[in-house]
């Protein structure tokens, strides 16, 4: 039987297992909450009811990764992380080094493996329409993700007494240089607002920029989380509340993780689809947030709601009402790929600077930092980042107009002041002049009046005699 032991604010499920060699061994599974420990205890007791709990023998990396995904991944990973990590294992790890024995893997082996990957073709993603034309090689960003995954798997192997040390901790990873993400300046955003003929796309652009939204948060926004009431309009407290996001997830991830974080699923367009569109919990707990709206954006939402209600009335039962703000004409959800495609076409048609839709979030955070004088915490409240460092490192783009202003301020504060000073050869004159009081200006009429004063005339005569000035 399994038992739960609480120690140092952690919970452990203690039970006996039989190794592949027939050896009895006590296992302590760490859980982060009592509820998690109870669930793990039930799993173990169920397995014990069927038969003895037997640990599979993990002698190769492939065997370790299978065990790692089963025990660690299903507990720790989100739906998207589960899918991406499974793809890394399937496409890039098992085919190359999966057959290696665990005791054969070293930092040197991993470094040679990473260098080999740089010369291998990348596996195309389902959504990557341009892959056949580009024929990309595996990039350094993917290799860093692989390294992170292996390091975590080897750490678990150490906890499971399968390895004495983690070979990934000492392995060097190819240097990765992130591509600079271009953003729109305010002038470009204003032009986009002026010329955009698609009202849905226009609303998406403004919500993403004004509220610093991720595209999944934008498309998962529902009307019950929008406050554009008459009272809030008058008091200028209109707002939206972000507590979910729209995302397409793989069905096998849903099955493996047991609908983890899913709030609702939408009907499938086809029966043989391998994925499904869902509303799910946000990326992190800090992503749940309230964001205040600029008045103009609130007016746009109000107009959009009125138009949507008119369409809903006209279509009647043919309208699929999921209470979503951004929808197709019949009320069904809009996927991020459609918004991104429409955004790209809009940019091309109006010859706007090429950016991706996520760049609007970058523009938003950058300009908010500039306008509020660098108040990172208030911007973090809008962006939903778990760490303020992410804002300063990733999103605070250096704006050209700010750099030009810096040059002007330096010119005024240093160079102009220096040029206004007299030549350094006249230091004494400069010092005396700087201490003197400017002489007041006297009018001609005032001078003529003084010259008619007898006392002034007598004084001037004495001064002339003393200085030897002739009449």
For residue 146, which of 176, 103, 126, 124 has the smallest C-alpha distance?
Answer: 176
Mean pLDDT of each 10-residue bin along the chain, 471 residues long: 82 79 78 79 71 66 94 91 95 96 94 96 65 72 96 93 91 86 90 96 95 94 96 93 95 89 88 90 87 93 96 94 96 96 97 94 83 70 66 56 68 67 51 47 62 66 59 51
CB atoms within 10 A of CB 153: 23
Burial of 362 (0-12, 13-18, 19+ CB in 10 A): buried
Dmax (CA) of the chain: 133
Q: In CATH, what is the architecture of 57-179?
A: Orthogonal Bundle (1.10)
> What ranges do the domains of the chain cover?
1-55, 57-179, 186-241+290-401, 245-281, 442-471
pLDDT at 465: 63
The pLDDT of residue 191: 96
What SS3 class is residue 366? helix
Residue with tokens 């040679």, as numbered in its chain? 112
Q: Provide DSSP, 400-446.
A: HHHHHHHHHHHIIIIIHHHHHSPPGGGHHHHHHHHHSPPPPP--HHH
- For the domain made up of 186-241+290-401, give the CATH fold: hpI Integrase; Chain A (1.10.443)
Measured CA to CA, the distance from residue 245 to residue 219 in angstroms comes to 7
Compute how many other C-beta atoms are within 10 angstroms of the C-beta atom of residue 326. Answer: 21
Instruction: Compute the distance between CA of residue 438 and CA of residue 137 in angstroms, rounded to an integer.
Output: 75
d(CA 293, CA 200): 17
């Amino acid at each position: 039987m399994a038992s739960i032991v609480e120690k140092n604010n952690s919970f452990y499920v203690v039970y006996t297992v039989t190794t592949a060699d027939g050896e009895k061994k006590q296992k302590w599974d760490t859980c982060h909450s009592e509820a998690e420990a109870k669930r793990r205890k039930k799993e173990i007791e169920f397995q014990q009811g069927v038969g003895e709990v037997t640990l599979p023998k993990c002698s190769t990396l492939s065997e370790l990764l299978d065990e790692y995904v089963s025990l660690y991944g299903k507990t720790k990973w989100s739906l998207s992380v589960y899918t991406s990590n499974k793809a890394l294992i399937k496409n890039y790890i098992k085919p190359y080094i999966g057959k290696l024995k665990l005791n054969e893997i070293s930092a040197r082996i991993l470094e040679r493996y990473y260098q080999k990957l740089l010369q291998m073709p990348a596996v195309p993603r389902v959504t990557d329409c341009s892959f056949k034309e580009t024929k990309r090689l595996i990039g350094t960003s993917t290799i860093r993700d692989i390294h992170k995954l292996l390091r975590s798997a080897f750490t678990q192997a150490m906890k499971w007494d399968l390895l004495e040390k983690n070979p990934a901790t000492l392995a060097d990873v190819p240097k990765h240089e992130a591509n600079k993400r271009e953003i729109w300046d305010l002038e470009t955003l204003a032009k986009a607002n002026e010329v955009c003929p698609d009202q849905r796309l226009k609303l998406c652009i403004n919500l993403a920029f004004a509220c610093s939204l991720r595209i999944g948060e934008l498309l998962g926004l529902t009307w019950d989380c929008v406050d554009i009431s008459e009272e809030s309009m008058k008091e200028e407290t209109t707002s939206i509340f972000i507590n979910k996001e729209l995302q397409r997830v793989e069905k096998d991830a849903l099955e493996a993780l047991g609908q983890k974080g899913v709030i609702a699923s939408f009907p499938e367009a086809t029966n043989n689809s391998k994925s499904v569109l869902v509303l799910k919990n946000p990326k992190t707990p800090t992503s749940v947030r309230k964001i205040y709206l600029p008045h103009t954006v609130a007016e746009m939402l109000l107009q959009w709601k009125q138009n949507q209600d008119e369409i809903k009335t006209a279509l009647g039962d043919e309208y699929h009402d999921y209470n979503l703000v951004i929808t197709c004409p019949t009320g069904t959800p809009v996927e991020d790929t459609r918004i991104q495609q429409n955004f790209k076409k809009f940019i091309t048609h109006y010859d706007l600077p090429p950016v991706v839709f996520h760049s609007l979030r970058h523009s938003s955070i950058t300009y908010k930092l500039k306008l509020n004088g660098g108040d990172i915490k208030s911007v973090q409240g809008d962006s939903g980042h778990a760490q303020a460092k992410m804002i300063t490192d990733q999103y605070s783009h250096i704006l050209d107009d700010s750099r030009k202003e810096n040059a002007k301020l330096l010119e005024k504060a240093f160079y102009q002041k220096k040029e206004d000073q007299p030549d350094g050869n006249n230091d004494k004159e400069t010092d005396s002049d700087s201490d003197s009081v400017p002489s007041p200006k006297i009018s001609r009429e005032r001078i003529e009046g003084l010259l008619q004063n007898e006392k002034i005339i007598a004084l001037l005569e004495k001064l002339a005699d003393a200085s030897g000035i002739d009449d």
